C-alpha cells in the first residue's frame, strides 16, 4: 500500500510537470516560432482534469479536504468518537454513488475522441473521475472499517 | 377549432442555451415559448435558461441525451460531437452560401443526421434557424487569401476550422471565448473568425480594424429535443409544439437576416473597414484539407456530392 | 421549495462532512426526493467533469506552485529586507515593513494562506526580537495577508472569473489598484496605532541600504513585472503567464539561489496538486448543486426577491457585502466564492452592477472572512506558525478589519478604482 501511495505521489508531480511543459510549449510555438499547435490547449485541459482529480484523492488520503470543522473543534475529541463514523459513512455513500454512476458514462463516451488529437478518447476525462472516486472510496472506507472493528470488539 | 387539453397531463419544457437571452436565437425561443403556452391553454409550460445557466453546449447536449433537459437551442456543435462523420455542416469553405447549407440540411444528408440523432442519441432535431455568415476580423486588411499567411488567428476547438485555416497558411491559436477580446486587444492573436453577432457581442470593433467578408460558413442554430419526451406528448401537444416551432424558427430566420444587415452597418459605423477578398481562392487553398477530411472523416459523402446540391 | 436545498446542505456542513461531499450529498438526496431511487447519475458526473474542464483553471496550480517555491527558496527574506530598508524607519516600523513586504509578495503569490505562511514566519520572528507584542505582530501579518489574492496573481480571482464568465486577464489587472489601496489603508491604520502605543522606530533611512537590498531582491522582484508586463504586452495569456511565473520561480530557487533540491521540487509539485485537487473537488461538486438549484428555478426566485428589496445597485452591493461577511465567518473563502457566485451573478446583472467590479469586491470581502472566527483559515495558519493562542489572535486582528472594510465600501462606491486600469490597458 505504501508503495502504491508513493507511486501516486510521483504521478501527481509528473502531471504537474506535464501541464507546465505543455503550456510553455504553447507560448514558445505561438510567440517565438509562430507555428500552429492546436492540440496543446485540449491536451493540457485533459492533463489538468487528471491532476485535479488525482489531487483530490490524495487530499482525501491525507485528510486535507475542505471541512467546516467549527463544531468538532468546540466539542473536542468526544465529537469524533460519536459523529466521526457517521460523517465518514455519509462521505463514503456519496463517493460510492458517484463512482458507480460514472462507469456507464465512461463507456458511452469512450468511442468519441478529442477534436485535435484523434487517438485520445474523450472518455479519459471521465475516467479521471472514476479513478479518483475509486481511490477516495478506498481511503474513506479504511477508517470506517476500523470504526466497525472497534464497535464489534467492544460488543464482545 | 379550439383544441381541448383537458385530458392531457401538464408538461414543462425546459429550454437551455449557451446563448444570451438577447440573441435572435433566444428571442425566437421566447416566441416559441409564448406560442406554445398560449395555444396549449397553459397545458404546456416553457421555461427558458439562457446565457449558459445550464452549462455550455457540451453540457446541454449531454443533458438532452439523458433526458435531464427537454429542449436546447444550440449552434452546430451537436453535429460535430454526435455525428462526427457529418461535421462538414460545421466546416468552413465547404458551402457556397446560406441556401446551400439549408438545402443540404433539408435533403438526404440532413435526413441522415436526424436519423442518427434519434436512433443513437435519443435526440430529435426540431429544426434549424440562421445566425449569419462567418467572416474574419483582423488588424491588417485581408484583400486576398495570401494576406492570411503567418497571421495568428483565434479558433475554437474544431478540427475542420483548424485544418482549413492552417492550410491557408494562418497560425491557428486556440483561445477560450471569454479571453477573445483581451487576446485580440493585447495582441496575443491578431485575427479571429465569427458571425457578426459574435463580433458585435464581444465588442471586437474596439480591438480590430478590418473584417474580410469571406462568409466561409453560414452559421446556424439547431433546436433539439429529447425524443422520449417528445414521443410522450399527446397528439395535440405534438401538433402545438411542431406548429409553434415552425413559426418561431421562421421568425428567427427573419430576425437573423435583419440583424445581420443592422450589425454590419453598426460595425462599419464603429470604424471597422470591410474587404471582399476572392472567395474561390480561399476554397482552393483549403481544398487539400477538405479533401483529406472527406476521405478520412466525412466518408458518408464527397465534396462533389455536396457541391452538386443545388 | 428552497428548504431542502439549503437545510440539507447546512446540516451536512455543520456536522463537518467535507464541503465537496456535503454539496454532492445534498444534490443526490434532492434528486432522490424528486425522482426516486435509483436514478441515472451520469448527468452529475458529466457536470462535475465539465465544471473543471477549462484551460484558464490551469493557472491555479501554477500560482500555488510559484508561491510555494518562493517560500522555500529564501525569496521571502530578500523581499522582507528590501521592504525594511524602505519603511523600517517609520514609527512602528516593522509593522509597516510587513505591509509593504505583503504588497510586494502579493505580486508573486496567489493565495492569502501562502502569503501568511511565507511572510508570517519571517515577520513574526523579527518583530519578536525587536520587542513587539506578539499578538500585535500576528494581527499585522494576518491583516496584510489579505492583500495577496487581490494583487495579481490570484487564485480566488481566477476561480471567480470562471464562475462569473468574465475575462481572467481583465479581473487580474483590476485587482492591482484595490490591492495597493488596501496596503495604504493598513499603513495609515498602523501609523495611528503606532502613535497611540508609542511603538519603536527602526534605524534611519539609508538609500545605500535600499540599493543593496534591492539588488539582492532584484530577480524575485521581477516576477510581478514579468507577469503583468507579459499579459498586457500580449506576449502571453493570463494562464500562460502563470506557467511562466512557475517556471521562473523554479529557475530562481533551483539554479540561482540553490535553495531547493530536485527532490524538494517534487514534493512541492505534489503538494501543489493536492491543494489544487482539494479546491477543484469543491468546484466540481458545486457545479452539480448549482445546476439543480438553477433547474428548480431557485436562482430566478432569489433574483426577484432581491429586486423587491431594492433596485439601487449601491444598496444591493452593500447587501451582498454584508451577506458575504456573515458567510465568511463560517465558510471557507474559495468554497464560498464557488458556491455563491452563480447565485449572486444574476442579482448583480439585474441591478446593473458590473461583474468584474463586483468580483474584486466579493473576493476582498471573502478575504476579510479569512480573519473572522469561528472559521478563518489565516487565523488557523498563524496559530500554527506562531503558537499564539487562537482567541488572542482573534481579538488582536479584529480592529484591522475596519480599514479593510473601509476600502471595500470605497471600491463599491467608486467603481472607477477597480475598472479604470483594465479599461486603460486592455
Ligand atoms: Na497575488
Ligand atoms: Na471567517
pLDDT for C160 equals 95
Q: If you count them, how many residues does chain C have?
A: 426
Residue to substitute from C159, C167, C300, interface B, most B β-carbons within 10 A: C167
pLDDT for C185 equals 98
pLDDT for B3 equals 61
pLDDT for C1 equals 62
C374 alpha carbon – ligand 2 mean position (Å): 6
Chain C residue closest in CA terms to A20:
C243
Are the Cβ atoms of C294 and B53 closer than 8 angstroms? yes
- When computed from its CA atoms, the radius of gyration of chain B, rounded to whole angstroms, is 20
Q: Name which of B155, B158, B173 is nearest A30 (Cβ-Cβ).
A: B173
| Residue located via cell numbers 473543534 | A73
Angstrom distance (rounded) from CA C186 to CA C154: 20
Interface of B with C in 261-290 (CB under 8 A): none
Please, are residues B108 and B66 in contact by the beta-carbon 8 Å criterion? no
Q: Name which of C15, C65, C240 is nearest A26 (Cβ-Cβ).
A: C240
Please, are residues C363 and C337 in contact by the beta-carbon 8 Å criterion? yes
First CA to last CA distance, chain A: 30
**For the residues A65-77, what does the mean pLDDT come to?**
85
Please, are residues C150 and C418 in contact by the beta-carbon 8 Å criterion? no
Please, are residues C82 and C217 in contact by the beta-carbon 8 Å criterion? yes
- Cell numbers for C313: 445597485
- pLDDT higher than threshold 60 for residue B2: no
- B68 DSSP 8-state letter: S
Please, are residues C272 and C65 in contact by the beta-carbon 8 Å criterion? yes
Are the Cβ atoms of B178 and C238 closer than 8 angstroms? no
pLDDT 10s digits, B40-59? 999 999 999 998 888 889 89
SS3 B73: strand
Q: Name which of A36, A40, A112 is nearest B81 (Cβ-Cβ).
A: A112
Give strand pairing partners of B12: B45
- pLDDT higher than threshold 70 for residue B1: no
Domain ranges across chain A:
2-155
Please, are residues A115 and B157 in contact by the beta-carbon 8 Å criterion? yes
Please, are residues C292 and B69 in contact by the beta-carbon 8 Å criterion? no
Q: Which residue has the higher pLDDT, C417 or A156?
A: C417
Residue to substitute from A25, A27, A35, A38, interface B, most B β-carbons within 10 A: A38
Q: Burial level of C334, CB count in 10 A (0-12/13-18/19+)?
A: buried
Give strand pairing partners of B251: none
B207 alpha carbon – ligand 2 mean position (Å): 42
Are the Cβ atoms of C18 and A65 closer than 8 angstroms? yes
φ, ψ at B102 (rounded to 5°): -65, -40
- Arithmetic mean of pLDDT over chain A: 92
User: Which of B232, B236, B244 shows the shortest CA–CA distance to B4?
Assistant: B236
Q: Name which of A36, A40, A112 is nearest B166 (Cβ-Cβ).
A: A36
C378 alpha carbon – ligand 2 mean position (Å): 9
pLDDT for A73 equals 81
The number of CA neighbours under 13 Å toward the Cβ of C239 is 29
List chain C pLDDT tens, one digit each, 426 residues. 678 888 999 999 999 999 999 999 999 999 999 888 888 899 999 999 999 999 989 999 999 999 899 888 788 889 999 999 999 999 999 999 999 999 999 998 888 888 888 888 888 988 988 889 999 999 999 999 999 999 999 999 999 998 898 989 899 999 999 999 999 999 999 999 999 998 888 889 999 999 999 999 999 999 888 888 888 898 989 899 999 999 999 999 999 999 899 999 999 999 999 999 999 999 999 999 989 988 888 888 888 888 888 889 999 999 999 999 998 988 888 888 998 998 899 899 889 999 999 999 999 999 999 999 878 889 988 988 888 888 899 999 999 999 999 999 999 999 999 999 998 887
From chain B, the residues in CB contact with C43 under 8 A are 62-63, 66, 68
| Closest ligand relative to C326 C-alpha | 2
User: Which of B46, B45, B38 shows the shortest CA–CA distance to B2?
Assistant: B38
Angstrom distance (rounded) from CA B172 to CA B185: 17
Chain B residue closest in CA terms to A122:
B81
SS3 A38: coil
Residue to substitute from C51, C234, C240, C283, interface B, most B β-carbons within 10 A: C234
In the structure, how many helices (H) and strands (E) does chain A have?
A: 5, 0
ipTM: 0.91
SS3 C72: helix
Region for residue C131 given its phi and psi (left: phi exceeds 0; alpha: psi -120 to 50; beta: otherwise): left
pLDDT 10s digits, B162-181? 999 999 999 999 888 888 89
- Cell numbers for B264: 454590419
Contacts of C among chains (3+ CB pairs under 8 A): A, B
Pairs of CB atoms within 8 A across A/C: 191
Q: Among B18-27, B295-304, C67-76, where is mean pLDDT lowest?
A: C67-76
Amino acid at each position: 500500500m505504501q508503495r502504491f501511495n508513493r507511486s501516486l505521489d510521483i504521478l501527481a508531480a509528473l502531471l504537474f510537470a506535464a501541464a507546465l511543459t505543455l503550456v510553455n510549449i504553447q507560448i514558445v510555438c505561438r510567440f517565438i516560432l509562430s507555428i500552429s499547435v492546436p492540440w496543446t490547449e485540449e491536451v493540457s485541459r485533459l492533463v489538468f482534469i487528471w491532476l485535479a482529480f488525482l489531487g483530490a484523492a490524495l487530499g482525501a488520503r491525507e485528510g486535507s479536504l475542505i471541512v467546516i470543522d467549527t463544531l468538532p473543534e468546540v466539542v473536542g475529541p468526544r465529537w469524533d468518537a460519536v459523529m466521526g463514523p457517521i460523517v465518514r459513512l455519509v462521505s463514503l455513500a456519496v463517493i460510492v454513488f458517484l463512482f458507480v454512476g460514472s462507469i456507464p458514462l465512461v463507456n458511452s463516451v469512450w468511442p468519441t475522441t478529442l477534436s485535435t488529437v484523434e487517438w485520445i478518447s474523450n472518455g479519459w476525462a471521465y475516467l479521471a473521475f472514476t479513478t479518483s472516486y475509486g481511490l477516495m472510496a478506498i481511503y474513506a472506507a479504511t477508517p470506517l472499517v476500523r470504526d466497525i472493528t472497534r464497535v464489534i470488539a467492544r460488543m464482545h | 377549432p379550439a383544441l381541448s387539453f383537458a385530458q392531457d397531463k401538464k408538461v414543462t419544457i425546459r429550454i437551455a442555451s449557451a446563448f444570451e437571452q438577447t440573441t435572435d436565437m433566444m428571442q425566437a425561443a421566447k416566441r416559441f415559448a409564448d406560442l406554445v403556452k398560449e395555444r396549449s391553454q397553459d397545458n404546456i409550460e416553457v421555461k427558458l435558461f439562457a446565457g449558459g445557466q445550464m452549462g455550455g453546449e457540451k453540457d446541454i447536449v449531454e443533458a438532452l441525451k439523458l433526458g435531464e433537459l427537454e429542449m436546447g437551442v444550440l449552434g452546430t456543435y451537436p453535429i460535430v460531437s454526435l455525428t462526427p462523420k457529418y461535421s462538414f455542416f460545421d466546416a468552413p469553405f465547404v458551402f457556397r452560401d446560406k441556401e446551400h447549407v439549408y438545402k443540404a440540411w433539408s435533403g438526404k444528408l440532413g435526413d441522415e443526421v436526424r436519423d442518427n440523432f434519434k436512433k443513437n442519441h435519443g435526440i430529435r432535431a426540431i429544426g434549424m434557424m440562421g445566425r449569419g455568415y462567418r467572416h474574419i476580423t483582423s488588424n491588417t486588411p485581408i484583400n486576398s487569401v495570401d494576406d492570411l499567411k503567418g497571421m495568428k488567428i483565434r479558433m475554437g476547438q474544431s478540427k475542420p476550422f483548424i485544418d482549413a485555416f492552417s492550410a491557408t497558411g494562418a497560425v491557428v491559436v486556440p483561445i477560450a471565448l471569454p479571453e477573445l477580446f483581451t487576446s485580440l486587444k493585447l495582441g496575443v492573436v491578431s485575427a479571429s473568425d465569427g458571425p457578426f453577432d459574435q463580433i458585435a457581442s464581444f465588442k471586437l470593433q474596439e480591438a480590430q480594424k478590418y473584417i474580410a467578408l469571406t462568409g466561409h460558413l453560414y452559421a446556424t442554430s439547431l433546436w433539439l429535443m429529447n425524443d422520449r419526451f417528445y414521443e410522450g406528448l399527446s397528439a395535440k401537444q405534438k401538433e402545438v409544439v411542431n406548429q409553434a416551432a415552425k413559426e418561431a424558427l421562421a421568425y428567427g430566420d427573419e430576425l437573423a437576416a435583419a440583424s445581420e444587415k443592422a450589425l454590419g452597418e453598426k460595425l462599419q459605423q464603429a470604424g471597422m473597414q470591410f474587404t471582399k477578398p476572392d472567395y474561390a481562392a480561399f476554397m482552393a487553398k483549403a481544398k487539400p484539407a477538405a479533401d483529406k477530411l472527406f476521405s478520412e472523416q466525412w466518408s458518408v459523402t464527397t465534396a462533389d456530392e455536396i457541391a452538386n446540391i443545388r | 421549495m428552497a428548504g431542502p436545498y439549503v437545510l440539507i446542505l447546512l446540516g451536512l456542513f455543520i456536522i463537518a462532512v467535507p464541503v465537496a461531499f456535503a454539496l454532492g450529498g445534498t444534490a443526490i438526496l434532492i434528486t432522490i426526493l424528486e425522482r426516486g431511487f435509483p436514478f441515472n447519475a451520469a448527468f452529475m458526473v458529466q457536470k462535475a467533469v465539465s465544471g473543471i474542464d477549462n484551460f484558464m483553471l490551469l493557472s491555479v496550480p501554477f500560482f500555488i506552485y510559484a508561491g510555494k517555491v518562493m517560500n522555500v527558496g529564501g525569496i521571502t527574506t530578500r523581499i522582507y529586507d528590501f521592504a525594511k530598508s524602505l519603511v523600517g524607519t517609520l514609527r512602528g516600523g516593522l509593522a509597516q515593513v510587513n505591509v509593504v513586504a505583503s504588497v510586494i509578495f502579493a505580486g508573486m503569490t496567489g493565495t492569502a494562506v501562502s502569503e501568511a505562511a511565507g511572510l508570517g514566519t519571517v515577520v513574526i520572528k523579527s518583530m519578536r526580537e525587536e520587542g513587539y507584542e506578539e499578538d500585535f505582530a500576528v494581527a499585522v501579518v494576518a491583516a496584510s495577508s489579505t492583500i495577496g489574492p487581490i494583487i495579481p496573481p490570484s487564485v480566488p480571482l481566477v476561480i471567480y472569473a470562471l464562475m462569473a464568465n468574465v475575462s481572467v486577464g481583465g479581473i487580474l489587472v483590476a485587482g492591482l489598484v484595490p490591492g495597493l489601496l488596501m496596503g495604504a489603508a493598513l499603513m495609515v491604520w498602523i501609523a495611528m496605532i503606532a502613535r497611540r502605543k508609542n511603538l519603536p522606530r527602526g534605524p534611519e533611512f539609508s538609500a545605500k541600504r535600499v540599493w543593496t537590498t534591492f539588488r539582492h531582491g532584484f530577480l524575485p522582484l521581477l516576477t510581478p513585472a514579468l507577469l503583468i508586463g507579459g499579459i498586457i504586452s500580449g506576449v502571453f495569456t493570463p494562464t500562460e503567464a502563470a506557467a511562466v511565473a512557475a517556471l521562473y520561480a523554479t529557475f530562481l530557487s533551483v539554479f540561482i539561489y540553490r535553495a531547493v533540491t530536485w527532490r524538494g521540487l517534487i514534493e512541492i509539485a505534489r503538494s501543489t496538486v493536492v491543494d489544487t485537487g482539494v479546491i477543484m473537488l469543491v468546484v466540481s461538486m458545486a457545479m452539480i448543486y448549482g445546476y439543480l438549484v438553477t433547474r428548480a428555478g431557485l436562482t430566478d426566485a432569489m433574483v426577484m426577491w432581491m429586486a423587491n428589496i431594492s433596485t439601487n445597485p449601491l444598496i444591493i452591493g452593500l447587501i451582498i457585502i454584508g451577506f458575504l461577511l456573515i458567510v465568511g465567518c463560517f465558510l471557507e473563502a474559495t468554497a464560498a466564492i464557488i458556491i455563491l457566485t452563480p447565485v449572486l451573478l444574476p442579482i448583480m446583472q439585474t441591478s446593473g452592477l458590473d461583474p468584474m467590479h463586483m468580483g474584486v469586491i466579493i473576493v476582498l470581502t471573502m478575504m476579510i472572512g479569512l480573519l473572522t472566527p469561528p472559521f478563518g483559515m489565516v487565523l488557523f495558519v498563524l496559530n500554527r506558525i506562531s503558537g499564539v493562542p487562537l482567541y488572542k489572535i482573534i481579538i488582536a486582528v479584529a480592529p484591522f478589519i475596519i480599514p479593510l472594510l473601509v476600502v471595500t465600501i470605497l471600491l463599491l462606491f467608486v467603481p472607477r478604482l477597480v475598472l479604470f486600469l483594465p479599461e486603460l490597458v486592455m
